[in-house]
Each structure stands twice: as C-alpha cells, then as structure tokens.
Chains A and B, each alone.
Chain A
Amino acid sequence: MNYAVVLAPNFALQALRRSEAALANKPFAIVEGEGRNARVTEASEHAIGVEPGLAVTLAMSRCPGLLIRPRDPNAESEVMRVLLAAAFTLAPRVELTAEGCCTVNLQGADPIQTEKQMHACVAELARAGVGARLGAGANPLLAAYAARCAEPVLLVSNPAAFLAPLPLSFAEPSSVHADVLRGWGIKTLGQLTTLPKTEIGERLGTEGAQLWERAAGETIRVLRLIEPVRTFAADWVYEPPVESLEPLLFRMRRFAERVALELRGAGRVADNLALTLQLEDDTDHHREFRLPEPGANVDGWMRVLQAHLDTVKTEARVTGVRLVATPARPPERQDGLFDTALRDPVAFWENLARLAAIVGDDRVGTPVLLDTWQPDAVALTKPVNAVPAPEDDSIHPPRGLTFRRFRPAWPADVAIVDARPHAVEAVELHGIVRVARGPFHLSSTWWKSGAAWALEIWHVELASGATYQLSRTADGWCVEGVLD
C-alpha cells in the first residue's frame, strides 16, 4: 500500500448540499445551459426519476418540488480544500488529481497505523459534511480503483483478485475499443488481462496495450505534489446579506471545519481566533478570541463564537465573514504526582472560552498579584492544567476581615477634625466616623516622571459598625471598599 486516493463521489452535488442548508434531504439537480437548452447534469438521490441529460422542464414534471441549481464554484473549491486538508492528515505528499479526488503518497508509512488513520479521515470528512471514500493500493491507479469500490475504506492487498471482477469501464477504454472488446465477449478487467498483452498490442495498437496495462493495474506515474497551506483562514460572502444568526453559524461551522482540518494536517492547533463580520454599511465588526486551551476542536470554537455572536447586534446586515486561526504547537506537559489535575480538561477549557466570550477575555482567569505596592495591581492569567501542591501556611497569616473593593471607588467628601476623618459623605454612604486608624502612606515610582503615585489610606469605622477604607490622593478623597 504505497498510495491512497481520497474520493468525494458526486462532488458538485456534495459541494452544493454542504454550502446550502436548505438542500438537506431535498430533491435537487444541477443544470447546465440556459432556456430550452438547460439540461440536468447531476441529480441528488432524493430526485426520483431525474437522470443526467434530461431537459429541466421534463425533470421538474417527473419530480415535483425539484430544486434547480447551477454549479457553485466557491462551494466546490471549499470542498476541494476540505479534501486536501483531510489528505494531508494521512501524509505530507499529496496530489490534487481531479475534481473531488486527491492522491496521497504513503510510501514509508506504517500500514496498520495508516489503515486506522484512513478510517479516522473518512469520519473527519463526514463530520465536515463531505461523504468520501478512501482506497489504497500499490500504485495510484490501483488506489483510485479501490476508492471507487470502497465502502468507505478499501485496501487492496491482492491486486489480481481485486481487479478480476471489475467491469471493463474502470480502465476507461475508448468507444472503439469498447465495441471491439464487447464483440470478443470481454466484460471485465480479469477477462482482458487473461489475454496476452503483446497480442492485444498487435491487434489494438499502443492504446490497446495501455488499456491492458490499466486493466492489470500496472500503470505507474509520478504524483504532482502540492504545497500544504501555511495560512489558516477562511472568508466568504453572503449573497443576499444575512440578518439572523442561524445562516451565519451554519456556514461559519463549515469553514471552521475546513480550517481545523488544515491545522490538524499541519500538526498545529489554534491558540487565537479572529472573527471579522463585514457589514452592508461598509463597516466591520472585529473580535479576537484567545483560546484558553489551544486546540483544533470545531465544537469548542463554535461555542466560543456563538457565545459572542449571541450578544452582538449590528447596525447593518452581514455581507461577509472572515475567520483566521493563529497556529500554535500543540501543548505538551507532564503533571506532578501531587498536582491537582483537571477531571475533564476539554470541558474546562471550552467553558473558560465561553466565559471569556461573555465577560471578555481580560475578565476571566486566575488572579496573580503584580510586583508592586500599588493598590488593585492584579493580572488575570490562564489557569493551569495542574495546580501544584499547596504551600505551608505563611508565617504572617492574614489578620482581620477581608477587604472588598468598590470598582470604581466612590468619590467622597470627608470632614477632617484634628487631622483625622470625622465624617464621610458619598453617594451610597454617609455617617460619622466612630474609630479611625491611619494614615498609612503608600507611594512609588516617584523617580519616573508622570508615573509617580502617592496615597494616604485610612480605615474608618462608622456608626453602623462597618469599617470602610478611605484613600486620599491629589484628586481628593474616595471610599475604596469595605472590610467584610
């Protein structure tokens, strides 16, 4: 098994069905030509009685409710990219052989592992909305024959036995040769290859000898390899523009599936997604999502994107979308024996991404104190997969009630008597100070012009019994929070 072929049968039909949700489980046909010359070229399995070559009017009379569509080059190009991305998950040497068909050079690959990968590849394509067949054989031709017969994966280990019952049409004889061979009573490849190749060559010429070689599966050719993609992006336009979420998400998922496949094929994951909605009024809505756990899981991406889009209201309809994934290396880690590991890492990271889509990337995470005395200097960082074992209790354990901060602080008027706060007046707070402790002075970065700061902190217990923290700066007093 040196080669594999990934084949999407009924390529144009599949492409249309994948790009248009309304075509699912409906009879539809692809037509070419205009007016009276319009003819059906392909018909879906639900279009009963409709065959290629039928006039459109006749097809519609045979199958009431038949939907007529022209070929969609954009949708076909997208499916082709999906097929290529899936092929690159098998091996890096891939040829774009024909519409809906690509060939992979598997030389050097582990056969057992490759078979598993081929099944995974078919499943991956099915999830991406593309029905595919995979065949593998000793040369590209055998692999192509195998793909045509596969349900959905077929590996040819005994070429002679595999080829013998196949109909002659597999070897694509010219119409003249087909007639001659039919006259000789030859209907299968096996029957043709039982005849000597030289005798066939003498009677049918060079083309006849080549036909015999194709029937014997002996044709060798060199693949024209293509380069894997280096940018992981998708953009598409909506014609007509959309104004609801459902059609937006349907196509977004399709494109995300392709981008995710391309990432997997390149051995990468995404650590950032950038979404741009192009609007009818020529403006853009742009948003970047930092994925807490880099990955190429489309369901996870879609949950993040949908959580954000649920909250978005645009001034105009959406005419186009661009989705860009920033590639990163897959995370590798080894946890410690006493670490607190995650029970369900996938759910953990997906939920964090959904939370970030609701409250903002910068408002969810594990808090880390910054190396400064400046109040409220804290950064939110990505939670760790495994929390290390707890440290011993500090030799200076915390004392008193815990501070609860008002964000933003409440501006206040503070009456001073004997250099101490005597009464506090703020929008949500007023009272006479019963006990005051302070002042506690804080200042830093006085050596940097424009960055210097200085604070005077007081703890005041009001008549209600609650203790508040006041601060005084050059701008005046404010209530920073309460000890609770």
Chain B
Amino acid sequence: MPSSPTTVAALRSLLATRFPERARAAVGAVPTEIRALDEALGGGLPGGRFTEIVSASPGTGGQTIIAQLLRATRRARQRMALIDGADGFAPEDVPPDHLRHLVWVRGRGAADAFSAADILLRDGNYSVVVLDVRGLSERALLKTPTTTWHRLRHATEAGAIAVLVLSTTPIVPAVPWRLVLRETVPLGARRTLRSALADAFSVEIVRGHTDAEKKSA
C-alpha cells in the first residue's frame, strides 16, 4: 500500500496505479488547422479524449471550427462524423471536396444525438467525431444523466477517436479539455479568407492541460 500522497504528483501517481485506464495518455492528436486551438490543445484534438468547445453566443465561430476541421481531416485523409443534434449544418457553405469523407447524422433531438454518439464512438473507422448539441434545449442537455456521459467517455477512452463536443454552455462533466469562444466576429470580416479568420480566433482555456504538462506537474 503506498504511503499517503503529499504532493499533487504523488496523488496523480496513486490514481494512475489504482485506475490505469484513466491514466492512459491521449492517442495522438488531430490538428484542426486553427492556430489558437492547436496551440491550446498541444497540437490538435487529442485522440481517445473528449474536448468541449463552448460557443457562448452565435457568431463566435463554432460552425467555422467544423468547416476547418472538415478541411484538415480531408487533407489528412481521415474520416469524420458530424452528429448534428439540431440539424444546423449547411453543406452549401463548405467546398464540395471537403464533404467527401464526412458522415453527417442529422439528429432530431438530444436522444438521437446521444444514441448516435454511442454507436460512432466505438467505430474505429473515424478519426474525429463532432457532437454538435448547439440549438438543442439547454435544460434537456443539462438533465442528461452523468451515466450517459460516463458511458460515452469510456467508449472514447477505449479507442483513438478525437471527440469534439460543441455546446453553448458547459455540459460535459469531467471533460479533459474545455475551451470557450467568446469574441463575436463582425460582418465586416466577411471578405477575409476563412482560414485567416479561423487563425485569428481567440480561445479561452477553462479546463485542461496537456499530458506533458501533467507529467511535469
């Protein structure tokens, strides 16, 4: 039996011994080609982990993150699934070639979205699964049983899929990474290249640290 932990590092070491599956490092990362995001996440969306991006208000760039992620995964020759809880994705605003590797699940509510996630998070054919719950009733989402998230997290940690949850308010309990987009992009930026616009996003890290940071702690 190890002695009582006296430092954060010792506590982490103890937890890693007791719960080895929780201590498993992220399986690679999927670059988003959005500078601020990749820097914040230490290279991209971590594989085998949840990342939550809270788009606090409309116009802060949540949909552009999906579009950029489509571009990045297409270039990296990966497959991506979009679980579109409120059916808000507009394919006409994305180059057709960036849609060819996408499986779009047009949900009709939170129940559909979570059922779809339960299936897709176990499918090793995808590198990225985006669970977009913006537009769904916040009350219904906040009432989602913790066990549902726990089940989805377990499925994710057993594989290598990078899971991105897009929400309007923090909803994922004990998520490794939570970033918030707060700045609204004005209409005046409509002529700016989308990639340049995405690079200029500022994200606030509310929760999370890289595995390297964890080790150094």
Chain A residues at the B interface, C-beta cutoff of 8 Å? 340, 342-344, 347-348, 351-352, 354-355, 358-359, 363-369, 375-378, 380, 383-384, 387-391, 394, 397-407, 435, 437, 459-461, 464-468, 481-484
Q: Tell whether, in the assembled complex, residue A466 and residue B58 are in contact, meaning their CB atoms are under 8 Å apart.
A: yes
Q: How far is the CA of A468 from the CA of B57 in the complex (A)?
A: 12
Pick the interface stretch among B3-11, B40-48, B83-91.
B83-91
Other A-B pairs beyond A340-B101, A483-B190, 11, CB < 8 Å = A347-B123, A369-B96, A388-B100, A390-B74, A397-B95, A399-B191, A399-B193, A400-B191, A437-B187, A464-B59, A466-B184
Q: Tell whether, in the assembled complex, residue B100 and residue A467 are in contact, meaning their CB atoms are under 8 Å apart.
A: no
Q: Tell whether, in the assembled complex, residue A351 and residue B96 are in contact, meaning their CB atoms are under 8 Å apart.
A: no
5 A-B pairs with C-beta separation under 8 A: A365-B103, A406-B135, A465-B57, A465-B59, A484-B62
Q: Tell whether, in the assembled complex, residue A401 and residue B189 are in contact, meaning their CB atoms are under 8 Å apart.
A: yes
Partner of A407, one of B75, B87, B120, B125: B87
Q: How far is the CA of A225 from the CA of B115 in the complex (A)?
A: 49
User: Is B64 engaged at the interface, CB distance under 8 Å to the other chain?
Assistant: yes
Q: Tell whether, in the assembled complex, residue B116 and residue A389 are in contact, meaning their CB atoms are under 8 Å apart.
A: no
Cβ < 8 Å to A, chain B residues 50-78 = 55, 57-64, 66-67, 74-75, 77-78
Given contacts A348-B125, A358-B116, A466-B184, contact A363 B88 (CB under 8 A): no
Interface centre among A366, A435, A483 (most CB of B within 10 A): A483
Q: Give chain B residues whose Cβ lies under 8 Å from the Cβ of A403.
A: 63, 90, 92-93
Given contacts A348-B123, A397-B195, contact A378 B61 (CB under 8 A): no
Q: Tell whether, in the assembled complex, residue A343 and residue B125 are in contact, meaning their CB atoms are under 8 Å apart.
A: yes
Partner of A340, one of B78, B93, B112, B119: B78
- A223 CB to closest chain B CB (Å) equals 47
Q: Which residue of B lies closest to A484 (CB)?
A: B63
Given contacts A366-B99, A401-B63, A437-B190, contact A344 B116 (CB under 8 A): no
Q: How far is the CA of A367 from the CA of B105 in the complex (A)?
A: 10
Partner of A364, one of B75, B94, B101, B103: B103
Given contacts A355-B116, A467-B187, contact A401 B61 (CB under 8 A): yes
Q: Main SS of the interface on chain B?
A: mixed
User: Is B97 engaged at the interface, CB distance under 8 Å to the other chain?
Assistant: yes
Q: How far is the CA of A363 from the CA of B86 in the complex (A)?
A: 12
Q: Give chain B residues whose Cβ lies under 8 Å from the Cβ of A397.
A: 95, 193-195
- B98 CB to closest chain A CB (Å) equals 8
User: Is B185 engaged at the interface, CB distance under 8 Å to the other chain?
Assistant: yes
Q: Tell whether, in the assembled complex, residue A400 and residue B104 are in contact, meaning their CB atoms are under 8 Å apart.
A: no
Partner of B91, one of A364, A369, A394, A398: A369
Q: How far is the CA of A404 from the CA of B59 in the complex (A)?
A: 10
Q: Tell whether, in the assembled complex, residue A467 and residue B186 are in contact, meaning their CB atoms are under 8 Å apart.
A: yes
Q: How far is the CA of A207 from the CA of B38 in the complex (A)?
A: 90
Q: Tell whether, in the assembled complex, residue A378 and residue B92 are in contact, meaning their CB atoms are under 8 Å apart.
A: yes
User: Is B108 engaged at the interface, CB distance under 8 Å to the other chain?
Assistant: yes
Q: How far is the CA of A365 from the CA of B90 in the complex (A)?
A: 14
Interface centre among A369, A401, A465 (most CB of B within 10 A): A401
Q: How far is the CA of A363 from the CA of B87 in the complex (A)?
A: 10
Q: Tell whether, in the assembled complex, residue A461 and residue B187 are in contact, meaning their CB atoms are under 8 Å apart.
A: yes
Q: Tell whether, in the assembled complex, residue B105 and residue A364 are in contact, meaning their CB atoms are under 8 Å apart.
A: yes
Q: Tell whether, in the assembled complex, residue B77 and residue A390 are in contact, meaning their CB atoms are under 8 Å apart.
A: yes
Interface centre among A344, A399, A402 (most CB of B within 10 A): A402
Q: How far is the CA of A170 from the CA of B106 in the complex (A)?
A: 65
Interface centre among B63, B94, B120, B135 (most CB of A within 10 A): B63
User: Is B175 engaged at the interface, CB distance under 8 Å to the other chain?
Assistant: no
A-B residue pairs, 8 tightest by C-beta? A466-B59, A465-B184, A484-B63, A400-B190, A367-B91, A461-B187, A363-B106, A403-B93
User: Is B79 engaged at the interface, CB distance under 8 Å to the other chain?
Assistant: yes
Q: Give chain B residues whose Cβ lies under 8 Å from the Cβ of A464.
A: 57-59, 184
Q: Give chain B residues whose Cβ lies under 8 Å from the Cβ of A380.
A: 104, 106
- B184 CB to closest chain A CB (Å) equals 3
Q: Tell whether, in the assembled complex, residue A435 and residue B188 are in contact, meaning their CB atoms are under 8 Å apart.
A: yes
Q: Give chain B residues whose Cβ lies under 8 Å from the Cβ of A378.
A: 91-92
Q: Tell whether, in the assembled complex, residue A407 and residue B61 are in contact, meaning their CB atoms are under 8 Å apart.
A: no
- A268 CB to closest chain B CB (Å) equals 26
Q: Tell whether, in the assembled complex, residue B191 and residue A347 are in contact, meaning their CB atoms are under 8 Å apart.
A: no
Q: Tell whether, in the assembled complex, residue A405 and residue B90 are in contact, meaning their CB atoms are under 8 Å apart.
A: yes
Q: Tell whether, in the assembled complex, residue A387 and residue B197 are in contact, meaning their CB atoms are under 8 Å apart.
A: no
Q: How far is the CA of A359 from the CA of B16 in the complex (A)?
A: 39
Q: Which residue of A lies closest to B123 (CB)?
A: A351
- A459 CB to closest chain B CB (Å) equals 6
User: Is B28 engaged at the interface, CB distance under 8 Å to the other chain?
Assistant: no
Q: Give chain A residues whose Cβ lies under 8 Å from the Cβ of B62.
A: 404, 484
Q: Which residue of A lies closest to B189 (CB)?
A: A400
Q: Give chain B residues whose Cβ lies under 8 Å from the Cβ of A400.
A: 189-192, 194, 197
Q: Give chain A residues whose Cβ lies under 8 Å from the Cβ of B60.
A: 484
User: Is B124 engaged at the interface, CB distance under 8 Å to the other chain?
Assistant: yes
Partner of B190, one of A342, A459, A468: A459
Q: Give chain B residues whose Cβ lies under 8 Å from the Cβ of A383.
A: 103
Given contacts A359-B107, A364-B106, contact A459 B92 (CB under 8 A): no
- B36 CB to closest chain A CB (Å) equals 15
Q: Tell whether, in the assembled complex, residue B106 and residue A402 are in contact, meaning their CB atoms are under 8 Å apart.
A: no
Given contacts A390-B75, A399-B190, A459-B190, contact A483 B59 (CB under 8 A): yes
Q: Give chain A residues whose Cβ lies under 8 Å from the Cβ of B136.
A: none
- A262 CB to closest chain B CB (Å) equals 29
User: Is B102 engaged at the interface, CB distance under 8 Å to the other chain?
Assistant: yes
Q: How far is the CA of A365 from the CA of B84 in the complex (A)?
A: 12
Q: Tell whether, in the assembled complex, residue B103 and residue A363 are in contact, meaning their CB atoms are under 8 Å apart.
A: no
Partner of B94, one of A402, A461, A466: A402
Q: Give chain B residues whose Cβ lies under 8 Å from the Cβ of A387.
A: 77, 79, 100-101
- A104 CB to closest chain B CB (Å) equals 39
Q: How far is the CA of A433 from the CA of B105 in the complex (A)?
A: 34
